[in-house]
Amino acid sequence: MRIRSIGALALLCAFIIPITADRATAQSKEKPTQYTYVSEWTVPRAMWADYLKGEAADNDLMKKALSDGAITGFGSFAVLTHQEGEPTHGTWFSASSVSNILKFLETLRNAPDATAPALAAAKHWDFIVESHDYAGHSGTFTNGYLRVGRWASRPGSSDTDAILRATMVPLLDKLVADGALHSYTIDKENIHTGPLGTVFLVIIANGPEGIDKFDAAIEEAEKANPAAWAALRGALDEKDHTDSLSKVSLMSQK
């Protein structure tokens, strides 16, 4: 199977859930659930060119599915902060239901290159995540940088979602509205392959400058409202926190 992911789920990943442009300035409130399938691959370096040929074929299938309305967005990426034994490449696609995720997954699993040598030689991970907090711009982009942060909720913390919506979501909405980000999502696993309560903060920056703007916005927000951001740090367990950074070769979303 050729579908691959956003490295960081372990990334998500992740993922990354596309939306319409008019939602980019929506109020910070829970939105209808959107689902993302993330697939990650650790491809031997000597086979990267072969992998990318297969990735191009998968992208053609995803473009058609997006046009037909079967999915709401997709993307592919290469990990820049690669670690030994961890993913090197990945792909994601999003939909409004698990049913649509699984139906399109069968299309990819039955594609001619689903058992290509580059995939057969690779380690592989799959994830399904969901989000109620997301925003982004419609269109197709080739200059994105995917940054994924992974945190566990601190034991005993029951208000992590509310704190995120009071702090991180307004900040990210503004970065999307200002054009610094192509999209963002705050995800949790729908099919749990990791600890319950794990949170994935996924941004796709508009070029490398978008990463700097994201970092600067976080620093400014913490200085402006230290109590609120201290509450966020208190809700998230930083002991096992991880980040990943990837270059998005292609993404498209409605």
182-231 pLDDT tens trace: 999 999 999 998 888 899 999 999 999 999 999 999 999 999 999 999 99
Q: What is the pTM of this model?
A: 0.86
- How many angstroms separate the CA atoms of 176 and 81, rounded? 24
Comparison of pLDDT for 121 and 147, the residue scoring more = 147
SS3 content of the chain, % helix, strand, coil (to 5): 35, 35, 30
Query: Residue 23 gets which letter from DSSP?
Result: G
- Which domains are assigned to the chain? 21-253 (3.30.70.100)
CA angle, 23 as apex, 20 and 27 as ends, to 5°? 165
- How many angstroms separate the CA atoms of 232 and 161, rounded? 10
Has residue 37 got a pLDDT over 60?
yes
Q: How confident is the model at residue 2 (pLDDT cuts 50, 70, 90)?
A: very low
Query: Residue 19 gets which letter from DSSP?
Result: -
pLDDT (average), residues 99-103: 97
Q: How confident is the model at residue 13 (pLDDT cuts 50, 70, 90)?
A: very low
Q: At what angle do helices 208-224 and 226-235 cross, to 10 degrees?
A: 110
- How many angstroms separate the CA atoms of 39 and 241, rounded? 21
Q: How confident is the model at residue 14 (pLDDT cuts 50, 70, 90)?
A: very low
Q: State residue 238's pLDDT score.
A: 81
- The predicted-structure confidence for 153-185, as pLDDT tens digits, reads as follows 887 777 888 999 999 999 999 999 999 999 999
- The predicted-structure confidence for 125-141, as pLDDT tens digits, reads as follows 999 999 999 999 999 99
- How many angstroms separate the CA atoms of 196 and 37, rounded? 18
- How many angstroms separate the CA atoms of 186 and 166, rounded? 13
